[in-house]
Structure 1
């Protein structure tokens, strides 16, 4: 099951490589939650690390992630593992769009010559 969150990137950590060859990279996204914004830490593993390339602090993103849990020495831990990032471009979108078409309320698709009412 996957989840999504939208917020602003607070920070992106450097890639960590472990002796086993396993690699991960963490990022923190600030999510507005009423009066108390939440800093959510997500990790990206192995080949998903490259998704963080080109992203910067302060950028708005939507992250798709899975929740993973495990037990270690009688304690339970959860990890949010990201696997998709979409940079939000809506606020800075200045594309050239055609002007809206103004409709005349007196123009009607009804053609009086086409009065084929079956009753």
Structure 2
């Protein structure tokens, strides 16, 4: 699990992909380095509601997992996709993030993430 601290730049509406899957994407700007980075995150299933009380430009701490998967198109082309799946998002009280805010969390504090179902969606 990783953590990033930054300001919310974009909050998208929840997308219903199927009866069993919904997601919500948002962008956080990381200003800790020399150049600001806009990072796209996603929330899935019940976690899509975590953004309901958040506002644009609000400073947040985002705890997330890096997920990757292989997908084969109907024509046989193999592609790889990455996503940053959010586990937790918390409001922060001002101040610039420090380098330790972006370091990987210790492995003993990480929870195991189990994906429900295995579909052919490319994300």
State the structure with bigger RCO (CA 8 A, min sep 6), 1 or 2. 2
2:84 aligned with 1:72: no
More helix by share: 2
TM-score (normalizing by structure 2): 0.68
Alignment counterpart, residue 85 of structure 2, candidates 81, 84, 91 = 81
Based on CA coordinates, which of the two structures has the bigger radius of gyration? Answer: 1
TM-score (normalizing by structure 1): 0.71
Structure 2 portions without partners, runs of 5+: 73-77, 96-123
Tell me, what secondary structure is at the counterpart of 1:18? Answer: strand
Q: Relative to structure 2, which stretch is displaced further, 9-18 or 72-81?
A: 72-81
Residue 33 (structure 1) shift = 4.1
Q: Per the alignment, do residues 33 and 75 of structure 1 end up closer, same or farther by CA in structure 2, a change over 3 Å counting?
A: farther
Structure 1 portions without partners, runs of 5+: 92-119
Whole-angstrom CA distance in 2 between matches of 1:19 and 1:3: 28
Aligned residue pair count: 90
Name the residue aligned to 1:31: 30
Provide Cα deviations, 1:13-43, integer angstroms capped at 9, x if missing partner: 0000023331100010000143310000000
Name the residue aligned to 1:115: none
